[in-house]
Structure 1
């Protein structure tokens, strides 16, 4: 290759391994010259990757799958040789909606089925009063945020297409939209949930790890044709990202990692907010209540970086459940082929062998997910848009 690699990213903490890989010199040590390009929307990142303006990208895992299937845009097969993050999202609600939900809560407020049932009661009461439907912000139609919101509310019978409104907003615009009353809640990655809490305009209702214990979030994405032509570059990128993830996961490095990520040209928020995310100790309410979770965001530990094709199958199943595509054997095969543990293993050699089996999803509702029985998964849920 000639010239620097151009890699697009969105200002989110789950871009950490990519940003640290460049800014700490791990990519340079692999002989790579990388230019990171900050973008504001996932459609921008997807389009620039697909047409070749970006060589690689920090990308929503479902967008990589949708691109490979030709859903919502042109068909461009994508390969994901490294998983940039497991979990990391949260659902944040306005003070008004939070108060309404707490009035209706019957049980543990950190139990997603309890809050989903409370939401169902709030929705029913609003309908009876003739109030407008609640509006929830999410980052993209083909996004974990969309599917996680839907999975949560549908478990209590709330139809996300009939009972509420779901609207697309770029991650950096979520906070202003909540402040302005354009949305009542949103699901987004860090640091934007914490920013809303710090400003006193939001309460973090759930970490996504409440809903799914282990969910693939963002991937390092490259075009399949580009990966085929540049296998050594792909391997170098993976090794640099793995080194960065290992650096970030060492507690003694988190202050430095947060400082790197906080730079204006990277994420551009206070380093202390980013540090909270990396340690999994987040302020969840304006009154100063904190909540801690070791599963809030996994960057490198527990084998988080190694792509798991079963995660891709689950995301494909959500696309089918909500009517974005039809169930087809070739569809799930294509989806699973996006996640490339073989490329990860080839890059790391003997270091790549997973020390344990991939973690289960740990979904709070429904049966244990079986990628060989997606129809059974879909039939287990009452609310959905798929056709048998």
Structure 2
């Protein structure tokens, strides 16, 4: 059941749980996308538990449209302030005042913040007392950004969720309420197309189908990178169809002139991932994890981001033969190597378990928010609903596999006939 159905089925006697998801972004989509994944699953769990989810987003992201199922309030990002040449000190003071005013009116049971525990403008210590509880999403980051001030701010949160495995580099190994959720992504098998249907959607039933992306599109080099990759892929695989995912932050020119290229500007591209033969993409957290969850082989290159070590992310998986690593000095040659390893990568991906980090993270948000409310729901009741939702998703993923296997056998029989 999705969020629209929840709204239609809510009874007048349901108690409301108010959560504010505060997403800080400028040139990327990581925070807002990850929090949206958690919020959507938290809303599903609320409905199953008889709670009305009153969720809102407060964001500095320049792509607030990523959130489509919740009320979203947009604030200027630091990137926008710089680009407009606004006075930093006075503008920042005005924005901080807006944030505090918003939180005062929200009367939130919980505030959820991602990656930067200080807030966009160092305002979290002022926000802490404006919500009953607080949760920090502490995704893996470069170790040199985890200084004493960073750790001090993490300790202010009631709960910390690490969207990684337990070997990740996190801000505070000794937080008393830290939970490892596993990877968080937005690939939902129950909402995804089969391989055959995905290929048919893009008119590539008998062709190689490639996904090309530069992530959210906010990197200044996105336009030149995408054009270069279109040329490389076209030269190497002239009969293939290339779907170019222009992220919501993309500001460059979109090329509509090529017969073998389809521009795609919606944010729901991941529902087609099972149909792609492989993907070429920057290795931002969300795209990386979505492709892996969909078992789509990825050929990844690293962008330089403030806290995010994309190169380490690629190297970790490529050593396990779960993806390919682009050599930026020899792109064509490294593409040849990747294509020669494609069958091995597909086989290794098929053995990977489906990660349900967004569901586990959603459960932890609910447990934290409910801890200071007059709504008594035992942890085991939440855990039971978590297990049921995960079972349903794994069943949907297995159904997609079964459909693809059956269609593959049918194609083989037709070929022999």
Tell me whether the two structures share a fold, i.e. TM-score over 0.5: no
When the two structures are superposed, what TM-score results if normalisation uses the length of structure 1? Answer: 0.32
When the two structures are superposed, what TM-score results if normalisation uses the length of structure 2? Answer: 0.30
Which structure has the larger Rg? 2
